[in-house]
Amino acid sequence: MKNYAGLIGKLLFVVVLFAILYSYAMFQGGFVSWFLFFAMLPFVVYMFGLTFYPLSSWEFERSFSKQILQTGDKVNIELTIHRKIPFPLYYCIVEEYLPPTFDRVGMKAGGYQYLANPTALTAEQKIKRVSFPWFKRKIRYQYAFDDVPRGEHHFHTIRVKTGDFFGFIRKQHYFTVPSSILVYPNQRAVGISKRMNSFEEGATPTSSPMKKDTTIVTGIREYTPGDRFSWIDWKNTAKKNSMMTKEFEPQKSSDVMLVLDASQVESSKSLAFEGSVELSASLIQAYKRMSSQLGFMILGEERKLFPFTKDVNQHNNMNHYLARVEANGQMSFPESLLLQHNSMPNNLVLMIVTNSLTPELKGTLTRLKQTHAHIVVFYIDASERVGPNEQQLVRELTISGIVVNVLTENEMSQNAFEVNT
């Protein structure tokens, strides 16, 4: 109804303007009045045609230079308008309504210097472009974003505005053009100071390029090219008159369960949560390269579990979920973690990534330590929020045999993560 009222109002304006010019020429007479009438007649006819010109018949197409990106990458976007009727348009303004997830800047390592003030990396994005298409059937608009933030970004609405030369007739129309891009969290190299190997936990031989464990000898065998000189068993070599080397217990990789705290966080810790997601993605990639069995659990609005596997598709699913995860869990993380205690096998290497270190979490971790071989905590937060209470909790957890990594602005701004396990 509102659209019809606007159309009728514009049409009445054109008719009244034409009537005024014609009446002036008829009653005034003379060359000047008729010249003015005929000089304005094309503009009146144009306004009359523009009033009925259907913007709704336009077809929009949105294309991206890349559909899948990493945080901080650049993406080029092109909007293409296809017009069926080549009606002359003096100007055309296209405004892209960006998703709210684009309000934050997707910085790489250097952006974590703002851990204490994440609002410094937020900015309202507006895209508005002007062109003068005239008779063109195809109109193109291009724009780019240099630092794309993590997430699944859905684009929907585009507004188009046009009008006549004098601004008497103005038209606009909203188009729904659904499309989306997926931005994965940034992945960095992870320097692990201690490799977690066990001869009783897990059952997967490691294929990482690490030193062969020479503490448990299980037998002897004939020498093969590639065996080290220190592995030669000289006593049996002399007995058999043939080069013999020692056979060692094959290394086994520990079963690692990585748990991400996705419970609801205050806005001041939004960048710290992005750091948690980035560290989790980097750890997943690191253990994938080491061919270790890794399970991954996210405790937030919903419990999401990726079971132990070395399957490549599973790792891709983990990264896909990390691209979309948000910190919106209503239940406290210590409580959620304790509820999952019975569903996790014993003697795991348990890795916890969190942005909050509380006495409740300490109590939960102490209980979990009774059934799990090793627990590692990655605590990510701004240095100004790691106060005396948090430092005391770190000391108490360390005394109880739990490894705690405190990652603040300095550690998060490095090109690679350096962690202790």
399 and 266, same structural domain? Answer: yes
How are beta strands 294-299 and 75-82 bridged, if at all?
Answer: unpaired
Q: How far apart are CA 265 and CA 267, in angstroms?
A: 6
367 and 271, same structural domain? Answer: yes
Given a cut of 90, is residue 119 above it in pLDDT? no
What percent of the chain is predicted at pLDDT more than 70? 83
Least confident of 61-75, 109-123, 190-204: 190-204
333 and 353, same structural domain? Answer: yes
CA distances from 388 to 343, 356, 376, 395 (A): 34, 14, 21, 11
What are the tens digits of pLDDT across the range 187-212?
988 888 764 444 344 444 343 333 44
400 and 313, same structural domain? Answer: yes
Per-residue confidence band for 290, with pLDDT thresholds at 50, 70 and 90: confident
In a domain, 44, yes or no: yes
pLDDT greater at residue 308 or residue 216: 308
Domain boundary among 33, 52, 71: 52
**Paired strand residues for 64:** 77
Domain boundary among 184, 203, 233: 184
Give the residue-averaged pLDDT of 232-241: 77
215 and 128, same structural domain? Answer: no
Least confident of 39-43, 203-207, 244-248, 365-369: 203-207
CA distances from 4 to 1, 193, 272 (A): 5, 71, 51
Per-residue confidence band for 181, with pLDDT thresholds at 50, 70 and 90: very high
CA distances from 277 to 187, 270, 355 (A): 10, 11, 11
In a domain, 48, yes or no: yes
Token output for 126: 């507006």
In a domain, 343, yes or no: yes
In a domain, 205, yes or no: no
In a domain, 240, yes or no: yes
Per-residue confidence band for 14, with pLDDT thresholds at 50, 70 and 90: low
Q: What is the pLDDT of residue 212?
A: 44
In a domain, 202, yes or no: no
In a domain, 329, yes or no: yes
Q: Taking the complete model, does pTM exceed 0.85, yes or no?
A: no
In a domain, 232, yes or no: yes
How many domains are there within the chain? 4
102 and 44, same structural domain? Answer: no
409 and 274, same structural domain? Answer: yes
74 and 42, same structural domain? Answer: no
Given a cut of 60, is residue 221 above it in pLDDT? yes
365 and 346, same structural domain? Answer: yes
Give the residue-averaged pLDDT of 275-301: 87
Q: What is the CATH number of the domain that holds 62?
A: 2.60.40.10
Q: What is the CATH number of the domain that holds 367?
A: 3.40.50.410
73 and 42, same structural domain? Answer: no
Question: 150 φ, ψ to 5°?
Answer: -65, 145
112 and 95, same structural domain? Answer: yes
233 and 256, same structural domain? Answer: no
Give the residue-averaged pLDDT of 295-301: 89
Q: Which domain holds residue 222?
A: 211-248
